[in-house]
């Protein structure tokens, strides 16, 4: 039991340390969140499991706490990341934004089979050069 407890303790401390290191080293909000969410999920989970093994009387509470942390930490990180993205936080090294959408005032929705409102209007006149006005006495 003690060996298992110490093993989980070391795992938790390792992930907590790596999360803090990542928070210091990584360049933007999203990668830092990726690192710190490891602290609040795997790191905490390791520590509560360690407490369950090292202090058996606390096991039910520790396991319940671990489960709650396991489910809530990723949701919290995702919510923070989403608000950061919507707020325009920079994504370092991004080459193509596959989820970016630009919202504009739509001119018109074309639909297969539907006539467009300007169907009967004559086509616009081509851009022809405007002749210069004649000078007096030139005609």
Q: Which residues bind other proteins (CB under 8 A)?
A: 88-91, 94, 96-97, 100-113, 116, 118-119
Instruction: With beta carbons less than 8 A apart as the criterion, state whether 77 and 22 touch.
Output: no
Paired tokens of 134: 């004649």
Pick 28 or 63: Cβ nearer other proteins: 28
Nearest distance, CB of residue 119 and other proteins, angstroms: 6
Nearest distance, CB of residue 91 and other proteins, angstroms: 6
Question: Would you tell me how many other CB atoms lie within 10 Å of the CB of residue 18?
Answer: 15
Question: Would you tell me how many other CB atoms lie within 10 Å of the CB of residue 126?
Answer: 5
Place of tokens 């999360």: 19
Question: Would you tell me how many other CB atoms lie within 10 Å of the CB of residue 65?
Answer: 17
Nearest distance, CB of residue 84 and other proteins, angstroms: 11
Pick 5 or 28: Cβ nearer other proteins: 28
Pick 55 or 89: Cβ nearer other proteins: 89
Pick 30 or 53: Cβ nearer other proteins: 30
Paired tokens of 43: 């790191």
Nearest distance, CB of residue 10 and other proteins, angstroms: 39
Instruction: With beta carbons less than 8 A apart as the criterion, state whether 54 and 2 touch.
Output: yes
Residue 41 per-residue DSSP state: I
């Amino acid at each position: 039991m003690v060996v298992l407890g110490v093993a989980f303790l070391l795992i938790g401390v390792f992930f907590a340390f790596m999360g803090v290191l990542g928070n210091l080293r990584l360049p933007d909000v999203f990668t830092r969140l990726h690192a710190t969410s490891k602290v609040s999920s795997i790191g905490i989970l390791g520590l509560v499991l360690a407490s369950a093994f090292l202090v058996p009387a606390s096991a039910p509470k520790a396991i319940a706490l671990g489960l709650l942390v396991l489910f809530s930490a990723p949701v919290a990180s995702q919510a923070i990341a989403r608000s950061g993205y919507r707020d325009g936080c920079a994504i370092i090294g991004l080459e193509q934004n596959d989820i970016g959408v630009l919202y504009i005032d739509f001119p018109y929705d074309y639909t297969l089979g539907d006539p467009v409102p300007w169907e009967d209007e004559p086509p616009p006149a081509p851009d022809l050069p405007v002749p210069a006005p004649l000078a007096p006495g030139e005609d």
